[in-house]
């Protein structure tokens, strides 16, 4: 497989779209360049505010580019099924999303959408379905269910001077049910082939970077809330034991459970039980959260 640099991707993008470099425009929804599927973002330091702005690819979505502006300057352009994540200084900012506003680029002159952003907080903003400038701010759980269907828009270069590189306080390592636990399982003997090696890889990566580690167990929604919290905790404790086995100091690792409170699977509720169990597999995960030094 050929790995292309960002500059080369941008060049290919411009050639395919037949665009001038001065006209920021996103690709079509069936592009092959946006490779990176959504990864949940980590928390940022208190001197920054993080924004995750996304555009689900839902039935009835207006086609064309939605230009995203920060304080009247171009950040990126979103097509259906894409997202952007960026950071700014806390305080008041003008945030705008404009559908097909070329060639006049009205979004640059739009000073109406003033938003006050708090330090250390992440805001999730969904581009509206229709041809309108209005966007919706969502809670993390609701947003993540939609974001998992999107890919990162990392081709276009931001021109927003207020946007800065994010300073993350932690990094998440997601251990999926593909290598970890089947339905209702949580012990060392239940870990699937490849699971121990994946935990060992995580241990090697976090050995030098982490000041503190929290292992968080997750479950699917089948069963009671109490039993799911207990199951999530058992899964976290099992992974903690493996991290210690791989050289991480026990004093540096704590465990927690989210139970079934942070689902990522959708469209499973009406299925027969066996299909439902399979559908909910992405929820049966363990997250190793490494707090950076």
Residues 75, 29 share a domain:
yes
Residues 261, 217 share a domain:
yes
Are the beta carbons of 32 and 13 closer than 8 angstroms? no
At residue 89, the pLDDT reads: 97
Q: Which residues contact 116 (CB under 8 A, 6 or more apart)?
A: 91, 92
Residues 267, 182 share a domain:
yes
How many domains, the chain?
A: 2
Q: Tell me the per-residue pLDDT of 180-219, one tens digit each, with 9 for 90 and over.
A: 999 999 999 999 989 999 999 999 999 887 779 999 999 9
At residue 57, the pLDDT reads: 82
pTM for the full predicted model: 0.67
**Residue ranges of the chain with per-residue pLDDT less than 50:** 1-2, 12-30, 131
Residue 5 lies in a domain: no
Q: What is the CATH number of the domain that holds 285?
A: 3.30.1330.60
Residues 178, 141 share a domain:
no
d(CA 56, CA 61): 8
Residues 136, 222 share a domain:
no
Residues 209, 244 share a domain:
yes
Residues 180, 147 share a domain:
no
At residue 134, the pLDDT reads: 62
Residues 240, 121 share a domain:
no
Residues 186, 94 share a domain:
no
d(CA 34, CA 13): 10
Residues 198, 274 share a domain:
yes
- The continuous run of DSSP H or E covering 52 comes out as strand 49-55
Residues 240, 180 share a domain:
yes
DSSP 130: S
Q: Tell me the per-residue pLDDT of 140-191, one tens digit each, with 9 for 90 and over.
A: 888 988 888 899 998 999 999 999 999 988 889 999 999 999 999 999 999 9
At residue 8, the pLDDT reads: 55
Residue 204 lies in a domain: yes
d(CA 180, CA 285): 7
Place of tokens 């499973």: 268
At residue 266, the pLDDT reads: 80
Residues paired with 94 in a beta bridge: 114
At residue 39, the pLDDT reads: 79
Phi, psi values for residue 143, rounded to 5°: -70, -45
Task: Write out the residue range of the structural domain in which residue 107 sits.
Answer: 21-152
């Amino acid at each position: 497989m050929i790995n292309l640099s960002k500059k080369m991707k941008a060049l290919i993008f411009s050639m395919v779209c037949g665009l001038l470099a001065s006209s920021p425009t996103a690709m079509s929804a069936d592009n092959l360049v946006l490779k990176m599927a959504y990864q949940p973002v980590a928390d940022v330091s208190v001197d920054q505010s993080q924004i995750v702005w996304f555009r689900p690819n839902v039935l009835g979505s207006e086609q064309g580019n939605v230009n995203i502006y920060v304080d009247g300057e171009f950040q990126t352009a979103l097509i259906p099924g894409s997202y952007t994540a960026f950071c700014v200084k806390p305080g008041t900012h003008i945030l705008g999303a404009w559908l097909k506003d070329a060639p006049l680029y009205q979004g640059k002159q739009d000073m109406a959408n003033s938003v006050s952003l708090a330090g250390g907080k992440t805001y999730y903003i969904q581009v509206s379905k229709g041809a309108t400038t209005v966007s919706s701010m969502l809670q993390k759980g609701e947003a993540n269910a939609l974001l998992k269907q999107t890919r990162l828009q990392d081709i276009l270069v931001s021109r927003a001077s207020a946007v800065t590189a994010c300073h993350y306080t932690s990094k998440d390592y997601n251990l999926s049910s593909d290598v970890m636990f089947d339905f209702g399982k949580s012990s060392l003997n239940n870990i699937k082939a490849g699971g121990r090696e994946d935990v060992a890889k995580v241990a090697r990566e976090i050995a030098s970077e982490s000041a503190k580690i929290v292992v968080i167990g997750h479950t699917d929604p089948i069963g009671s809330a109490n039993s799911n919290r207990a199951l999530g905790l058992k899964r976290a404790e099992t992974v903690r034991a493996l991290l210690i086995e791989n050289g991480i100091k026990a004093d540096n690792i704590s465990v927690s459970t989210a139970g079934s409170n942070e689902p990522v699977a959708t469209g499973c509720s009406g299925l027969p039980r066996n299909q439902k169990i399979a559908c909910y597999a992405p929820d049966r995960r363990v997250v190793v959260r490494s707090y950076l030094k």
